[in-house]
């Protein structure tokens, strides 16, 4: 325990003393915790790092590295788009169907747990908030098993195939450009020109 | 409208089981999501006819590595980071003026930052203090989760999964070439063995004329 306290003491005590700054921080926390925004942040950082890491993988040949990079780009774009739509949709559905008023069965309390009314009002709000998060996550998980096969995979394949095609085209264009520039720029060295003119062998004058 | 009894039972079950502590269920759903996503992606790679055999081999291992390393790094990086953030807020190591104010008022300010100190267990932990505490705790927890997620899923996992996939690919190549070589060896040896086991028997000079009529 003493060692833990010593380790803990290495972290300086910090405090947010500015009211406006605290407001901003709390807003950031709230914003990053939302399903749509959270998925978007993860997707944006993923597209900034993962393709770079895949492309610079020196343990495989260049073509495999590029193909894997293209598939990663496709996977991130498809995963982020589908994930954002599904998560935010499910979260909104849960918000709209979990009203605290359960006196009569209605659509707006369709998914409200009936047992929540037995909990003390002080705890009810917090537990209902947790329930909404769990219910949204569980429903989103089941929905995403379907959307993974129906949308994610075909979209990933399409995007990666498109990027592979574009890469192949670029490669061909670059190859053509290289060959044309090579023929234009290639100047026979003077020594070789003399050899060609007088039909001399490479061993020297004989 | 009437809500079916099954729906009521399921919602009550979720509420009773997980509304007190959502940590474990979120972890398991995240893991299930990764496994499902990777399985679907592997299917996609297998069905994509535009990849070569070598590329498929690399990318399938990359997907398997992606799910496995994501799960591992989640437990090694993200979860401890989240716990650490929660501990920092709970002990008052990192706090706000709004949380500090009632603590100072009650003379507990020196206890802030002690490892056993828990703001939530204070007798004067009022609903106002709870509101302030929860908001700041939410910011710290979400920031730690996002930071941990970026570090583990977006940096560490791609590096390690690529290493794993390329190692697997190299091993498979080696095994294949070794098999090819040993196959050649076996086939050569078997030919030689056949030759040894069945030596060519010298034909007797009379055998050459067997069945042929001799005309003198």
pTM, full prediction: 0.74
CA distance B99 to B96: 5
Q: Is the pLDDT assigned to residue B194 strictly greater than 60? A: no
Other C-beta atoms lying within 10 Å of the C-beta of residue A3: 7
Average pLDDT, chain A: 84
Give the residue with greater pLDDT, B128 vs B95: B95
Question: Bigger pLDDT: A72 or B182?
Answer: A72
Chain A residues 9-28 within an 8 A CB cutoff of chain B: 9, 11, 13-17, 19, 22, 25-26, 28
pLDDT value at A36 more than 80: yes
Name residues 25-84 of chain A within 8 A of B (Cβ).
25-26, 28-30, 32-33, 38, 41-42, 45-46, 48-50, 53-54, 57, 59-60, 63-64, 67-68, 71-72, 75, 79
Can you list the alpha helix ranges (DSSP code H) found in B74-156? 79-90, 97-105, 127-149
- The predicted structure's pLDDT at residue A163: 94
| Statement: residue B184 has pLDDT above 70 | no
Average pLDDT on B52-69 reads 90
pLDDT value of residue A8: 86
- Reported as a single tens digit per residue, the pLDDT across B72-104 is 999 999 999 999 999 999 999 999 999 999 999
State the Cα–Cα distance between residues B17 and A132, nearest whole angstrom: 13
For A113-178, give the secondary structure using H, E and C.
Answer: CHHHHHCCHHHHHHHHHHHHHHHHHHHHHHHHHHHHHHHHHHHHHHHHHHHHHHHHHHHHHHHHHH
Cβ-defined contact of B33 to A141 (cutoff 8 Å): yes
In the prediction, which pLDDT does A105 show? 84
Residue of B7, B41, B96 lying closest to A16 (CB–CB):
B96
The two three-digit tokens of residue B207, written as one number: 């055998």
pLDDT at A192 over 80: no
Instruction: Categorize the per-residue pLDDT at A32 as very low, low, confident or very high, splitting at 50, 70 and 90.
Output: confident
Contacts of A33 in chain B (CB under 8 A): 138, 142
A117 touches chain B (CB under 8 A): no
Mapping DSSP to helix (H, G, I), strand (E, B) and coil, where does residue A16 land?
strand
CB distance B93–A157 less than 8 Å?
A: no
State residue B96 phi and psi, 5-degree precision. Answer: -125, 165
């Amino acid at each position: 325990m003493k060692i833990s306290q010593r380790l803990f003491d290495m972290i300086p005590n910090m405090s947010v003393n500015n009211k406006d700054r605290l407001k901003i921080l709390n807003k950031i926390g709230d914003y990053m915790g939302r399903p749509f925004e959270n998925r978007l942040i993860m997707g944006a950082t993923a597209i900034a790092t993962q393709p770079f890491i895949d492309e610079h993988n020196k343990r495989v040949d260049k073509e495999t590295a590029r193909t894997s990079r293209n598939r990663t780009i496709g996977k991130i774009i498809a995963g982020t788009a589908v994930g954002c739509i599904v998560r935010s949709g499910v979260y909104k559905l849960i918000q709209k169907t979990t009203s605290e008023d359960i006196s009569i069965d209605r659509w707006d309390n369709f998914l409200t747990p009936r047992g929540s009314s037995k909990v003390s009002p002080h705890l009810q709000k917090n537990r209902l908030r947790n329930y909404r998060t769990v219910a949204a996550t569980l429903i989103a998980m089941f929905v995403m098993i379907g959307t993974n096969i129906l949308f994610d995979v075909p979209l990933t394949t399409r995007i990666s195939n498109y990027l592979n095609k574009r890469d192949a085209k670029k490669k061909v264009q670059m190859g053509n450009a290289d060959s044309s520039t090579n023929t234009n720029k290639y100047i026979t060295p003077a020594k070789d020109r003399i050899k060609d003119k007088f039909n001399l062998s490479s061993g020297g004058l004989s | 409208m009437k809500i079916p009894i099954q729906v009521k039972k399921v919602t009550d079950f979720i509420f009773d089981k997980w509304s007190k502590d959502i940590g474990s269920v979120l972890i398991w759903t995240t893991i299930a999501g990764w496994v499902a996503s990777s399985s679907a992606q592997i299917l996609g790679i297998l069905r994509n006819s535009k990849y070569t055999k070598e590329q498929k081999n690399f990318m399938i291992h990359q997907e398997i590595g992606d799910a496995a390393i994501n799960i591992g790094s989640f437990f090694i990086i993200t979860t401890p980071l989240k716990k650490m953030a929660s501990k920092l807020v709970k002990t008052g190591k990192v706090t706000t003026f709004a949380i500090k104010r009632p603590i100072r008022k009650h003379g507990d300010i020196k206890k802030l930052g002690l490892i056993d100190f828990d703001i939530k267990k204070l007798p004067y932990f009022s609903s106002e203090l709870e509101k302030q505490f929860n908001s700041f705790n939410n910011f710290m927890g979400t920031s730690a989760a996002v930071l941990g997620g970026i570090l583990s899923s977006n940096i560490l996992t791609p590096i390690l999964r690529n290493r794993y996939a390329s190692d697997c690919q190299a091993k498979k190549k080696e095994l294949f070439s070794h098999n090819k070589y040993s196959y050649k060896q076996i086939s050569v040896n078997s030919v030689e063995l056949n030759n040894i086991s069945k030596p060519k028997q010298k034909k007797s000079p009379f055998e050459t004329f067997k069945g042929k009529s001799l005309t003198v």
